[in-house]
């Protein structure tokens, strides 16, 4: 409670801590933990007739999301962004600096040792259902180290598409050439 009359109301049960605005018990922030340790952090104002309640994380430095190593669940390194809206969810990288710079989506591979030829550096996949409600990959964009040799570094960028029976096939491949400033491009697969 502050020096005035404003205050927050706290409600705690076995699995959930809820913080309410003192003027509206539907304006809330909640942390809920299940018996298995699954945790949900949520906001709610829409149910009280207001706008959707945003959540902002504003660290004075970098923000790290680091799954715990050694978990046997098999999906400890996945981060899910879910939405039931048309064209959602959107991942927005917004740069507000008044300059000619831009936002950056950076894939960073750090083996803790020198890289090797054919190391994958980044993988973007497009995944969805077919007409039988079965999940399948439809396209991949893959960045690979073609040549890792110091002084001869060369990359490879593949655009793969599911071809007729779901087989992922490179339709466009841009690869390091045999000289500085030269690239080889392979287009198409089959006739």
pLDDT for 185 equals 96
Phi-psi region of 26 (alpha: psi -120 to 50; beta: other; left: phi over 0): alpha
pLDDT for 3 equals 46
The DSSP 8-state label assigned to residue 52 in this structure reads: P
Per-residue exposure over 103-122, b if at least 16 CB sit within 10 Å of its own CB, e if not: eeeeeeeeeeeeeeeeeeee
* Angstrom distances, CA of residue 90 to CA of 40, 42, 83, 160: 21, 19, 9, 23
Alpha-carbon Rg for the chain, nearest whole angstrom, is 24
Instruction: Give the pLDDT band (50/70/90) at residue 18.
Output: confident
- pLDDT over 50 at 74, yes or no: yes
48 phi/psi in degrees, rounded to 5: -95, 10
The model carries a pTM of 0.72
């Amino acid at each position: 409670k502050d020096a005035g009359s404003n205050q927050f109301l706290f409600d705690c049960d076995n699995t959930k801590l809820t913080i309410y605005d003192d003027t509206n018990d539907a304006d809330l922030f909640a942390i809920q933990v299940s018996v298995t340790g699954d945790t949900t952090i949520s906001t709610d104002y829409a149910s009280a007739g207001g706008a959707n309640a945003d959540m902002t994380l504003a660290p004075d430095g970098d923000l790290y999301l680091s799954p715990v190593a050694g978990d046997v669940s098999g999906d400890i390194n996945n981060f899910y962004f879910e939405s039931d809206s048309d064209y959602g969810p959107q991942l927005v990288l917004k740069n507000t600096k008044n300059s000619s710079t831009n936002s950056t989506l950076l894939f960073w591979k750090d083996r803790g040792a020198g890289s090797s030829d054919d190391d994958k550096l980044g993988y973007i996949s497009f995944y969805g259902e077919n007409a039988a409600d079965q999940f399948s990959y439809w396209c991949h964009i893959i960045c690979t180290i073609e040549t890792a040799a110091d002084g001869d570094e060369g990359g490879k960028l593949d655009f793969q598409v599911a071809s007729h029976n779901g087989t992922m096939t490179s339709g466009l491949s841009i690869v390091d050439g045999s000289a500085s400033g030269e690239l080889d491009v392979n287009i198409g697969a089959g006739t």
